[in-house]
């Protein structure tokens, strides 16, 4: 909500810059306890970044333009997963011992510098809200607002006459909205299932590949997910009325893949199923964000900010239990992990189909219907 009443072009870059400095500081931590303390600070700074980006994108584009934008946004995470491990390995190995620093310390230093540099660039590139940005002329701001109002996207950040809910009032409007809780359940199912990505190297290694080759064999998984996510985003902007159905379809597909993996032990077949399952889950992740953003477009920016941040935060809580789904003792079948993911996917199917059909019966069109 704070971001909804401030200037994102200053707020987010400032967070990123401090985030980068703290990450660089991790290169000189004296012990494990200090490392944990620094990591907690980084986590706090990271926590507001994703909700902030989601709010900004939802504030600039019409509902029928958001899926492809969020697909691009989530694709950054896909690409980082594909090449992050390889780059990290190259940095830690190539710079190990340089200037007396261990490789893992160089990793924090390089990542921190990169984050800080990007934050400085974003301060000049990132726009504020359509009604408040100074990088557009008055006429351009007016046109931006008009196209959003025509699509019932509430965005009057600088309208002094528009009623602005208090912090507590905005929180109440967001958390008492039944749609928000359905999206929470659905997104927790997606994120919980997507913790599968943490174990790609482990799972691929369990399929019979060596540790080094397993790292490279994860790249096709991310590459397929990247393509499917972008195709889904572009297609859903053409047919936005089917976002809920397609989400239900992708979660059903991922659920079936998880079930088949539990009963098929052929290495090649399991690898192919892993690729297909990952593609479905990543595509669902990007689409779920745009579906929630467009659904809550009728809300005042302050209320929408809290609703989207709450969905994102609750969804990410799923990573806590998701990190325990694939213990090494379950190798190589990992029946518990894939069984739990199958159940989570089923929960996602029910949630998004329920949202789809309930929104058809009672469309969201008025701010007072928050």
What pLDDT sits at residue 109? 94
Cβ neighbourhood burial of 201 (10 Å; 0-12, 13-18, 19+): middle
- Terminal CA-CA length for the chain: 16
CA pair distance 39, 369, nearest whole angstrom: 40
HEC-encoded secondary structure of 169-224: HHHHHHHCCHHHHHHHHHHHHHHHHHHHHHHHHHHHHHCCCCHHHHHHHCHHHHHH
The residue extents of the domains of the chain are 3-152+166-361
Q: How far apart are CA 16 and CA 49, in angstroms?
A: 8
Cα–Cα distance for residue pair 55/126, rounded to 1 Å? 13
Per the structure block, which two tokens stand in for 45? 């700074």
Query: Which pLDDT score is estimated for 134?
Result: 86
- The conformational region for residue 208 under phi > 0 = left, psi -120 to 50 = alpha, else beta, is left
User: What pLDDT score was predicted for residue 370?
Assistant: 42
For position 368, what pLDDT does the model report? Answer: 44
Distance separating alpha carbons of residues 307 and 46, to the nearest angstrom: 18
User: What does DSSP assign to residue 136?
Assistant: S
In the predicted model, residues of the chain with pLDDT beneath 70 are 1-6, 156-163, 202, 205-215, 363-370
Number of helices followed by number of strands (H, E) in the chain: 15, 0
User: What is the C-alpha to C-alpha distance for residues 157 and 4, in angstroms, rounded to an integer?
Assistant: 7
Q: Around 271, how many Cα atoms within 13 Å sit in the side-chain half-sphere? A: 16
Other Cβ atoms closer than 10 A to 89: 14
Cα–Cα distance measured from residue 21 to residue 34, given in angstroms and rounded to the nearest whole number: 15
Whether the Cβ atoms of residue 203 and residue 334 lie closer than 8 Å to each other: yes
Q: Which residues contact 116 (CB under 8 A, 6 or more apart)?
A: 16, 17, 20, 21, 24
| Nearest one of 296, 307, 361, 304 to 152, comparing CA atoms | 296
Q: What is the pLDDT of residue 310?
A: 93
For domain 3-152+166-361, the CATH architecture is: Up-down Bundle (1.20)
3-state secondary structure (DSSP) of residue 336: helix
| Tokens, residue 190 | 């997606």
Contact between residue 116 and residue 109 where contact means Cβ atoms under 8 Å apart: no
């Amino acid at each position: 909500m704070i971001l909804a009443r401030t200037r994102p072009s200053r707020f987010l870059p400032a967070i990123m810059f401090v985030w980068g400095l703290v990450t660089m500081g991790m290169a000189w931590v004296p012990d494990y306890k200090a490392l944990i303390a620094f990591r907690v600070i980084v986590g706090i700074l990271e926590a507001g970044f994703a909700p902030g980006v989601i709010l900004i994108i939802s504030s600039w584009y019409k509902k029928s333009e958001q899926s492809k934008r969020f697909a691009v946004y989530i694709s950054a995470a896909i690409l980082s997963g594909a090449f992050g491990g390889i780059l990290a390995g190259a940095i830690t190995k190539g710079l190990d011992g340089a200037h007396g620093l261990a490789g893992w310390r160089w990793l924090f230093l390089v990542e921190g510098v990169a984050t800080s540099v990007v934050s400085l660039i974003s301060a000049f590139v990132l726009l504020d809200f359509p009604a408040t940005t100074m990088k557009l002329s008055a006429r351009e701001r007016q046109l931006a607002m008009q196209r959003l109002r025509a699509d019932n996207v509430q965005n009057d950040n600088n309208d002094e006459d528009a009623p602005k809910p208090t912090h507590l009032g905005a929180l109440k409007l967001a958390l008492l909205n039944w749609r928000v809780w359905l999206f929470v359940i659905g997104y927790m199912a997606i994120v919980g299932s997507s913790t599968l990505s943490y174990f790609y190297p482990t799972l691929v290694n369990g399929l019979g590949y060596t540790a080094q080759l397993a790292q490279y064999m994860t790249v096709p998984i991310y590459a397929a997910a990247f393509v499917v996510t972008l195709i889904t985003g572009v297609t859903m902007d053409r047919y936005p009325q089917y976002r809920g159905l397609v989400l239900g379809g992708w979660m059903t597909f991922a659920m079936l893949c998880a079930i088949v993996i539990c009963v098929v032990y052929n290495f090649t077949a399991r690898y192919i199923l892993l690729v297909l399952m990952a593609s479905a889950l990543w595509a669902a992740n990007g689409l779920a964000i745009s579906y929630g953003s467009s659904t809550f477009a009728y809300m005042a920016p302050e209320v929408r900010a809290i609703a989207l941040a709450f969905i994102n935060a609750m969804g990410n809580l799923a990573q806590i239990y998701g990190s325990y789904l694939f213990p090494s003792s379950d190798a190589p079948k990992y029946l518990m992990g894939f069984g739990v993911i199958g159940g989570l996917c089923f929960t996602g199917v029910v949630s998004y189909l329920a949202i789809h059909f309930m929104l058809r019966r009672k469309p969201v069109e008025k701010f007072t219907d928050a």
